[in-house]
Amino acid sequence: MNALLSGCPNLETLDLCFYAEDSGGIIRVPPSLKWLKIIINNSDAGASLEIDVPVLEYLCIANITITDANNLQNVVEASVDVFPSSAASAFTFLKLLGALTGIKHLVLSCSTTKRDSRSGRPPPRYATGLLSAI
């Protein structure tokens, strides 16, 4: 998948839905994206995502683990259903929330917030007024 995505340096819209074992591990998306949607069909399998996309405006991710998140200041709308299953991945999830500095509308799934609450940390204070749960 990464070989395909690296061959599309000017890609602005990406809508992926696939089985995790087809991903080849960590998914790295092109920095030119403005619209990103990734849905993993088999949520019990491990797939992870690295996001460093300074022009991204819309983000929708489901059934995936975030390994790194940077340069998301232009995202104004996001829907997130991720798996912060350990302390390290919970930290990365909080890093994702912290990177969404320009967010206007954020939807977190109940499964995401339940998993994050296991770490004992509440959502960042700046984000609490922005959250809605599904």
Domain count, the chain: 1
What are the residues whose beta carbons fall under 8 Å from the beta carbon of 55, sequence distance 6 or more? Answer: 31, 32, 33, 34, 74
Q: Decide which of 126 and 56 is more confident.
A: 56
pTM, full prediction: 0.76
Three-state secondary structure of 28-50: ECCCCCCEEEEEECCCCCCCEEE
Task: List 61's β-bridge partners, or say none.
Answer: 38, 80
Could you list the residue range(s) of the whole structural domain that residue 48 is in? Answer: 2-133
| Pairwise pLDDT comparison (48 vs 33), residue with the higher score | 33
State the average pLDDT over residues 9-18. 91
pLDDT at 97 > cutoff 50: yes
Task: Report, as an integer, the average pLDDT of 104-108.
Answer: 92
The neighbouring-strand residues paired with 27 are 49
Judged against a pLDDT cut of 90, whether residue 133 lies above it is answered with: no
